[in-house]
Amino acid sequence: MTIGPGTDPHPLGVAVVGYSFMGKAHSDAWRNVNSFFPTPRVTQKVLVGRDAAQVSSAARHYGWSESATDWRQVLERDDIHIVDVCTPGHLHAEITIAALEAGKHVLVEKPLANTVEEAKHMAAAAQKARERGVHSMVAFNYRRIPALALARKMIQEGRLGEVRQIRASYLQDWLADADAPMTWRLRREAAGSGALGDLASHAADQIQFLSGSAVTSVSGTVNTFVKTRTGPHGPEEVTVDDAAWATLRLASGAVASLEVSRFATGRKNALEIEVFGSVGSVAFNLERLNELRFFDAGAHGESQGFSTILVTDPTHPYLDAWWPAGHMLGWDSTFTNQAADFLSAIGSGNAPSPSFEDGLSVQKVLAAIESSAAQASAAVVL
């Protein structure tokens, strides 16, 4: 089922399942993508959520034609071509597999699933759907940051030489207050994991995306700093991690360090990535997302040092669709770029990236960190 401007004059109907944080971000992308990119046209058909009043209100605010509370009924509609899953992780597999079987193209928020087993089932369903021309993609939106896309291009072109080391950290502080209330993100049955699934999924994907190499082994540890939180019915046990640390070895021979935390006081949304090669390096910080720092080891000693590339030029990835050079993009733009890439793949009939197989690969890394942490021997006392 290839749908694009040349094969179908009608816009693609989109349904988003989930109306909270990610539902809002994805809604913004669907609302704006055709204003910036020459992709197949879309129309915001329906926003889906469990609470009828709240999803109805959100639909009006986010620009949807209507709202619904039953995603199964939405899948039966002929005017829905794309299903965008923005629910908590424990619902990803059921909704996504059903949507693919119903012939809908599917975009699903990261992490792909809560477990490796669920992710395997989703990847298998995606493969079967691909054979019928039905496409799927996992929403690692940080691949669509122009600076990180440029970093990958520079690495592929050999500007850094042989990649030897990668440092990736993703630090936030929204849980640093021990009195912060319980949320679904702190319950394993809903979230699958804590900072691992929420933050390390992005970091692990970037390590493999930038290096072009798969993780082959992991040594990790996790920690939960606050063991209980106040829920709607009183104290509840926190059943996920608050922070995680890991060393990852890649098939290329490179070694990566990974650190994630939702307890890093003062850090709001600090995804920092450094890639060190034999002849150069790059460094990125999400809190300065229009900048990429580059070190050229071949430069003359007197002028050698990190230079800052302002990634806003029309020649940079994605920027020809946006504003004149020097006019900054924001975090929300990554979702618009993501929607554009997904629509372009649907229109051309090409498989979009990152695939569910890529999502499964990240899920295996997260599971390996947890497994390594659980099997660790007693700490050596010095």
Whether residues 120 and 155 fall in one domain: no
pLDDT, tens digit, 9 for 90 and up, residues 244-291: 999 999 999 999 999 999 999 999 999 999 999 999 999 999 999 999
User: Which tens digit of pLDDT belongs to each residue from 195-233?
Assistant: 999 999 999 999 999 999 999 999 999 999 999 999 999
**Confidence tier at 176 by pLDDT (50, 70, 90):** very high
Co-location of 117 and 37 in the same domain: yes
pLDDT given at position 301: 81
73 with 130, same domain: the answer is yes
- Quick check: 236 pLDDT over 90? yes
Q: Which pLDDT belongs to residue 382?
A: 66
Q: Is residue 334 part of a domain?
A: no
Quick one: pLDDT at residue 300? 85
CATH code: domain of residue 185: 3.30.360.10
**Residue 323 domain-assigned (yes or no):** yes
pLDDT of residue 344: 98
Q: Tell me what pLDDT residue 211 has.
A: 98
Q: Among 120, 142, 164, give the residue marking a domain's end.
A: 142
Give pLDDT tens digits for 185-205: 999 999 999 999 999 999 999
Give which of 171, 269, 176, 186 is closest to 229, Cα–Cα. Answer: 186
Residue 295 belongs to a domain = yes
Stretch among 156-170, 253-267, 296-310 having the lowest mean pLDDT = 296-310
CATH number at residue 102: 3.40.50.720
Does 173 lie in the same domain as 100?
Answer: no
- Kindly report, residue by residue over 330-353, the tens digit of the pLDDT: 999 999 999 999 999 999 999 999
Same domain for 324 and 270?
Answer: yes
With 0-12 / 13-18 / 19 or more C-beta atoms within 10 angstroms meaning exposed / middle / buried, residue 291 is middle
pLDDT tens readout for residues 134-145: 999 999 999 999
Residue 33's pLDDT band, with cuts at 50, 70 and 90, is very high
Contact 205, 180 (CB under 8 A): no
Q: Are residues 251 and 151 in the same domain?
A: yes
- pLDDT of amino acid 380: 58
* 69 assigned to some structural domain: yes
In whole numbers, what is the pLDDT of the chain averaged over residues?
Answer: 95
Whether residue 72 lies inside any domain: the answer is yes
The pLDDT of residue 149 = 98
Question: What is the percentage of the chain residues whose pLDDT exceeds 90?
Answer: 93
The pLDDT score that the predictor gives to residue 303 is 81
Residues 81 and 205 in one domain: no
* Whether 52 and 167 share a structural domain: no
Check whether residue 208 and residue 324 sit in a common domain: yes
The verdict on residue 2 lying in a domain is no
State whether 34 and 75 are in the same domain. Answer: yes
Q: Within this chain, do residues 55 and 151 fall inside the same structural domain, yes or no?
A: no
For residues 76 and 218, membership in a common domain is answered with no
Q: How many domains does the chain have?
A: 2
Q: For residue 376, tell me if it sits in a domain.
A: no
Q: Provide the pLDDT confidence category of residue 379 given band limits of 50, 70 and 90.
A: low
Residue 250 makes CB contacts below 8 A (sequence gap 6+) with 166, 207, 208, 211, 213, 214, 215, 216, 256
Tell the burial category of 35 from Cβ atoms under 10 Å away from its Cβ (0-12, 13-18, 19+).
exposed
The answer, yes or no, to whether residue 77 has pLDDT greater than 80, is yes
Domain stop point among 82, 113, 142 = 142
**Boundary residue ending a domain (111, 142, 173):** 142
Domain that residue 300 falls in: 146-288+290-329+364-371
How far from each other are the two terminal CA atoms of the chain, in whole angstroms? Answer: 63
Q: Are 193 and 119 in contact (CB under 8 A)?
A: no
Other CB atoms within 10 A of residue 183 CB: 13
The residue whose two tokens read 């913004």 is: 28
Residue 195 falls inside a structural domain: yes
